[in-house]
Structure 1
Amino acid sequence: MTRKSITLVIISILVLFSSGCWNRRELNELAISVGEGIDRDNEGKYQISTQIVIPGEIASKTSGAASGLPVRIFTATEDTVFEAMRELTTKSPRPIYHSHLRVLVIGESLAKEGIGEVLDMFSRDHEYRSDFYIVIAKDTSAENILSILTSIEKIPANNMVSSLETSEKTWAPTAAITLDKLIQDLVTEGKNPVLTGIEIIGDPAAGQTQKNLEIIKPTAYLKYSGLAVFKSDKMLGWLDQDESKGYNFIMNNVKNTVTDVNCPKEGKFNFEIVKSKTEVTAKVENSTPKIEIHIKSEGNVGEVQCDIDLTKQKTIEELEKSVEEDLINLVEKTINNVKEDFSTDVFGFGDAIHRANAEAWEKLKSDWNDKHFTDLEINVKADIKIRRLGKIGNSITSEIKE
């Protein structure tokens, strides 16, 4: 090996070992942002709110309530989102670090104007990851949502994330949508997005105080409520709880939920769905698009409030049929309401037609939402199986003596 080659090898080794931490940033020198919100002010500017963690309060070992609040809210207002983010540095004593962002809240009024410009900044900036959740502040501002203190989780943003993930897995009317998923829905032909709404229950002003953490029943708390319907990047309105659940059945998003069903004669029973799969099939016949939805679900009897004999196979079959009819009605009602109220395909039926027959889609896509989607022929089928009855057979109410 020549002297020149040896010199190059030595230099390469020195560069390798000396450049590993060139851009390091110590945690105690940063302000960690876990939740951010965006609103429009009265002058049409963007108002940015960021929820910053106070490490000393989070790490407190003392029993009872912490001596101080676990987070701080900083706000800034500018013509663009990027400028407002930079202006935050004039109010925070430390550089704001965005890579740990867990949830982005968008004010309802801004969502109705359009969120395209907002998403451009968050998807372009290298410091932001793309796996944080996005929700819509319902009947309030994003700043107010981020300002509500929560009692179980010290960090409100973590509380919002945990509640969203849990409700999606066990209840079904919510949808945990990340930045990646939202952008995918926005750019996919024949599919419009939805986002989960979050609202404040109680007095928002009282929810921002330390006292809200010190009482058994909080004065104010956050609650997820419905799905926001979008056409392109503009919000049109809301789906209620039942419609949101119907949406998730269509989208094959239901992991576990409970449905309230009428008994064959009188009374009601609860059916817990523990496994569900939805298949959406699209076809075009004589230039007419058609959709078939087939839902297969399994579950358990959760609660019985009627006089039925669960030891008989005929009774089980009647209950299964009741659940099937109830589920079909739920899905059909959801689709019809979306057609009538919004005329926007949030179910991805257009995308299914596109994948099934690309040539036909080219002729349909120009007026899909306004014409073909509203007239779309949709056939819904359901196949329900009851697997378990619980620890007891018939309801104990029938055995109680007066």
Structure 2
Amino acid sequence: MKRCMIVLLILSPILTGCWDKRELNELGITLAIGIDKVEDEYQVTAQVVVPSEIPTKTSTGRSPVILFKEKGETVYEALRKITKISPRKIYPGHLRMLVLGEDLAEEGIAKSLDFLSRDWELRSDFFVAIAKDGTAEEVLNVRTTIESIPANKMFNSLQTSEHYWAATNGIKLDEFIASLTSDGKEAVLTGILVTGDQEIGSTKQNIESINPPARIVYDELAVFKKDKLVGWLTERESRGYNGIVNEVQNSVIAISCPKEGKATIEIIKVDSKMKGKINKGKPEVDVNIKVKGNVGEVECQINLNELDTIVELEKITEKKMEETINLAIESLQKQYKSDIFGFGEAIHRSNPKEWKKMKAQWDEEFAEMTANVKVDVELKHTGTEGNSFLEKIEVE
């Protein structure tokens, strides 16, 4: 025992040392990276924190981040060339957002991701998004309110949106690469774009107005075939996709009341299960979705104290959700022939031999296959009110 203690005491200074020690003031802490394709080169834009401007008593009010950009034949080369203009080495160990330009995505993004997938400095907990209708540089060049560091705004907005709305999807790099390399499933990424006046967006004026002239917003899901962007889902189709792949955490859905008017159902839990099968030699998938929700808003004359009314609202919600999900499936089958749902994976799990025969022509098989969608909704609560107070007053 004494010998063990002596050995540990001798080795402890060595074991606790860092083999690649670097001081914090030698690194440019990078929270967002953008990659665009400019002619035949990659352009890398790095959003680097300005330490003196992180909210403190000594802040001067200048921008808390600075952008550096360079071009290179590879992403790694462009990133290293930034040292020509940056006083510190770009350090991506705290990266929160990776934004890829739409032109790059249409051309193919696999090569541009290789460096990021193998860099030991990078953690895997950052989101990846596509700059819709623009470039990654444009997205990273907008100053934001509430969250003074734009990368934090983008990260937190995507987390919030996927949790409460269900039309976006926060996808991390390792998840995206897993979809790119999967047999029987294509990849998706959330779109991000700049709205309003981009020129003002990069100035202090953008954060001095109650209604900023330029904003960064998330918008729909990008559809891939292999590593190439082939199109975009609508917001409704994006919600349908997330319902199928069990990525709905919380959301709301507006429905028509039995006679007239509207009601809003809050979705509080979704459990989606997918099962593949071969029916008469053809692939088929059953998608069963169990939903729990609450009555969130009533703008019509209905009696919520009656069980029949709740059952009717459940059926209306089921029908609307099934229509939304089937719309997403039809769009992917007819317009893009891209199996982003993982139906091929479901067939592979259920019948590996049959999958082996059809995977080479899965695009065609997917386009013609049958997907049986069944949604079962259970409404749990009606809120603090029973029937709406609207029935007590005359509302046009």
TM-score, normalised relative to structure 2: 0.95
Q: Structure 1 residue 75 and structure 2 residue 69: aligned? A: yes
Aligned to 1:30: 27
Query: In the alignment, is the contact (CA less than 8 A) between 1:290 and 1:377 conserved in 2?
Result: yes
Q: 307, 310, 319: which one pairs with 2:313?
A: 319
Aligned to 1:49: 45
AA aligned opposite 1:56:
S
AA aligned opposite 1:45:
E
Q: Structure 1 residue 96 and structure 2 residue 90: aligned? A: yes
CA shift digits 1:224-258 (9 cap, x unpaired): 00000000000001011111000000000101000
CA shift digits 1:119-178 (9 cap, x unpaired): 111112222222211000011110010011111011100100000001111100011100
Q: 351, 372, 378: which one pairs with 2:371?
A: 378
- Structure 1 residues 18, 383: CA separation in 2 closer, same or farther (over 3 Å shift)? closer
CA shift digits 1:371-394 (9 cap, x unpaired): 110111111111101111111111
* In 1: Cα distance, 2:307 partner to 2:329 partner: 33
Q: 111, 125, 128: which one pairs with 2:122?
A: 128
- Structure 1 residues 239, 119: CA separation in 2 closer, same or farther (over 3 Å shift)? same
- Structure 1 residues 22, 13: CA separation in 2 closer, same or farther (over 3 Å shift)? farther
Q: Structure 1 residue 40 and structure 2 residue 37: aligned? A: yes
* In 2: Cα distance, 1:399 partner to 1:355 partner: 56
Q: Structure 1 residue 244 and structure 2 residue 238: aligned? A: yes
- Structure 1 residues 401, 326: CA separation in 2 closer, same or farther (over 3 Å shift)? closer
Aligned to 1:3: none
Q: Structure 1 residue 210 and structure 2 residue 210: aligned? A: no
Q: Superposition RMSD on alpha carbons, in Å? A: 1.7
Query: In the alignment, is the contact (CA less than 8 A) between 1:293 and 1:379 conserved in 2?
Result: yes
Residue range with higher mean Cα deviation, 124-133 or 257-266: 124-133
AA aligned opposite 2:199:
A
| Offset of residue 265 of structure 1 | 1.3
Aligned to 1:21: 18
| Offset of residue 21 of structure 1 | 3.4
AA aligned opposite 1:51:
Q
Q: Structure 1 residue 255 and structure 2 residue 249: aligned? A: yes
* In 2: Cα distance, 1:15 partner to 1:309 partner: 75
Q: Structure 1 residue 393 and structure 2 residue 386: aligned? A: yes
* In 2: Cα distance, 1:325 partner to 1:291 partner: 19
* In 2: Cα distance, 1:280 partner to 1:10 partner: 58
Query: In the alignment, is the contact (CA less than 8 A) between 1:60 and 1:66 conserved in 2?
Result: no
| Offset of residue 61 of structure 1 | 2.3
| Offset of residue 107 of structure 1 | 0.4
- Structure 1 residues 267, 12: CA separation in 2 closer, same or farther (over 3 Å shift)? closer
* In 2: Cα distance, 1:33 partner to 1:330 partner: 39
AA aligned opposite 1:40:
K
* In 2: Cα distance, 1:10 partner to 1:275 partner: 56
Q: Structure 1 residue 118 and structure 2 residue 115: aligned? A: no
* In 1: Cα distance, 2:391 partner to 2:156 partner: 40
- Structure 1 residues 66, 331: CA separation in 2 closer, same or farther (over 3 Å shift)? farther
Q: Structure 1 residue 153 and structure 2 residue 147: aligned? A: yes
Aligned to 2:333: 339
Superposed counterparts of 1:168-317, under 5 Å: 168-317=162-311
* In 1: Cα distance, 2:126 partner to 2:289 partner: 30
SS of the residue 1:205 aligns to: helix
Superposed counterparts of 1:337-376, under 5 Å: 337-369=331-363, 371-376=364-369
* In 2: Cα distance, 1:325 partner to 1:18 partner: 65
* In 2: Cα distance, 1:102 partner to 1:401 partner: 51
AA aligned opposite 1:390:
G
Unaligned runs of 5+ in 2: none
* In 2: Cα distance, 1:312 partner to 1:178 partner: 45
Count how many residue pairs are aligned between Structure 1 and Structure 2: 391
CA shift digits 1:85-129 (9 cap, x unpaired): 110111100111111111100001100000110111111222222
SS of the residue 1:154 aligns to: coil
SS of the residue 1:316 aligns to: helix
- Structure 1 residues 12, 392: CA separation in 2 closer, same or farther (over 3 Å shift)? closer
